[in-house]
Amino acid sequence: MELTCNVQTYAWGKKGSESLVARSKGGADGSFVVDDNTPYAEYWMGTHPNNPSLVRGSEELLSVWLANNPAAVGVVPDGYPADNIPFLFKILSIGKTLSIQVHPDQALGRELHASRPDVYKDPNHKPEMAIALTRFEAMCGLRPLHDVEGYIKDIPELGAVCGIDGSTDTPITLEALWRTFLTMGDAVVEAQLAALKGRLQEKRKPSQPRAGGTTRARTVSADMESIDPCELSLRLMSQFPGDRGAFCPFLLKCLCLEPGEAFFMGPNQPHAYVSGDCLEVMAPSDNVIRAALTPKYKDTETVITTIDYSSADGLPIVQPIKVDANITTYRPPCKLAPEFELHLHKYSRNESEDAANSWSLHQINCCSIVLVMDGSVTIVVDVSGVETSASAGSVLFIPANTQVTVTLTSDSATLYRTNRNLGGEI
């Protein structure tokens, strides 16, 4: 059945029709009017109470429908109710950097909710996976200590806010460095930011790209282009004047993903999305522990004690798995994220044989949500023959243990299907 899904208009979203979120909502809902001055940030698909999906036609809450039809949910991860969806699926359109943040693990999520339910609204963890739809920039995960020390030698302002003198060999740890950085007085930070801005502007060559460009000043992966941290730092100073988060490009890995590339943020990993459009799938939680780049509440001490300082090596990249000629799967570690995985379905018309333009989706023992990203299709429930037409922006719910057939009604179509983490069953 088709769902009615709604948008979130956070300040960091892209404005008007520049936003893929707005275009997707408009494609699914002809009555939706795009305002060119409104930042459309997120398109939510699921049953999270902050922006729940409805059953199109009846406009009944999907969560209510599921409570009355629990068999449609199927198998859920341990600890989740048997009558509700265990994941949240989104499109994000990012025009301005999001906050530097971490998410708690399951134990800490319960603890934070019990002690401060006004701030931490639920007891769950919040693993999340982002798949780039356009060129997508992010800061994700700690830089190794030796990498940070290399920047400190070149940038004394960074050493000053981290409590490190780059001319000495005094031993330091990532935890001590981050504690000093996040608790350094605002006056010191603002003075060092002013000095850093002058230094970086002086270093910038006329031929270098301005904000949004990418320069291989320091590469963190041979397979993926790194954002120039100096350029990103200047951009963050412009977006968030006086905010210590402008130092974070030298403390966090800075990546630029091309469409189809993905990364996973497990618990206790500092990160921030910077720009671009992506799909995001996550556990259905709202637990965000913020550190910088936001006017919202920053829980500094919890951030410091939550970060996993042993995880600085490597990149949080999710390697796509080719299932067949049409399907590619993005699967995070099942132990860390049993709630979700995502499947990319790409179909192209075979002009010589109409029968070849229909495909059966895998029948699985859990419910799933399907987003039509582009093109148009009809989806037929094989047993009942119920048929639903869908085009770009449409969102459909497929009950557990339901066999459906997808038929192209355009030259090509791209669909994304999210369900619980099957751990390799398909």
Per-residue pLDDT tens for 355-373?
678 999 999 999 999 999 9
Same domain, 251 and 371: no
Calculate mean pLDDT across residues 400-418.
Answer: 96
Find tokens 């919040």 and name the residue: 126
Q: Which two tokens stand for residue 360?
A: 């059966």
Q: Is 240 within the bounds of a domain?
A: yes
Tell me the backbone φ, ψ of residue 263, rounded to 5 degrees.
-140, 160
**By percentage, how much of the chain surpasses pLDDT 90?**
85
CB 134 within 8 A of CB 18: no
pLDDT band at 86 (very low <50, low <70, confident <90, very high): very high
**pLDDT score at 425:** 63
Name the nearest CA neighbour of 120 among 307, 336, 291, 285.
285
Report which residue type is found at 89.
Answer: F
Find tokens 């806010």 and name the residue: 161
CA 280 to chain centre: 4
Output the domain CATH number for residue 347. Answer: 2.60.120.10
Residue finishing a domain among 269, 286, 318: 318
Encode pLDDT of 172-217 as tens digits.
Answer: 899 999 999 999 999 999 999 999 999 999 887 554 443 444 333 3
Q: Is the pLDDT of residue 229 over 90?
A: yes
Q: Is 398 within the bounds of a domain?
A: yes
**In a 3-state reduction of DSSP, which class is residue 279?**
strand
| Catalytic member of 56, 290, 331, 420 | 290
**pLDDT score at 212:** 43
Domain containing residue 168: 136-318
Encode pLDDT of 156-170 as tens digits.
Answer: 999 999 998 766 666
For 225, left (φ over 0), alpha (ψ -120 to 50), or beta? Answer: beta
Count of domains observed in the chain: 2
Same domain, 296 and 407: no
**pLDDT score at 313:** 75
Same domain, 288 and 366: no
DSSP 270: -
Same domain, 268 and 190: yes
Q: Is 267 within the bounds of a domain?
A: yes
pLDDT band at 219 (very low <50, low <70, confident <90, very high): very low
Minimum mean pLDDT range among 3-17, 148-162, 208-222, 409-423 = 208-222
CA 119 to chain centre: 21
Same domain, 210 and 301: yes
Q: Is 290 one of the catalytic residues?
A: yes
Same domain, 284 and 405: no
pTM of the model: 0.91
Same domain, 291 and 214: yes
Tell me the backbone φ, ψ of residue 200, rounded to 5 degrees.
-70, -35
Same domain, 382 and 357: yes
Same domain, 256 and 358: no
Q: Which residues are registered as beta bridge partners of 273?
A: 138
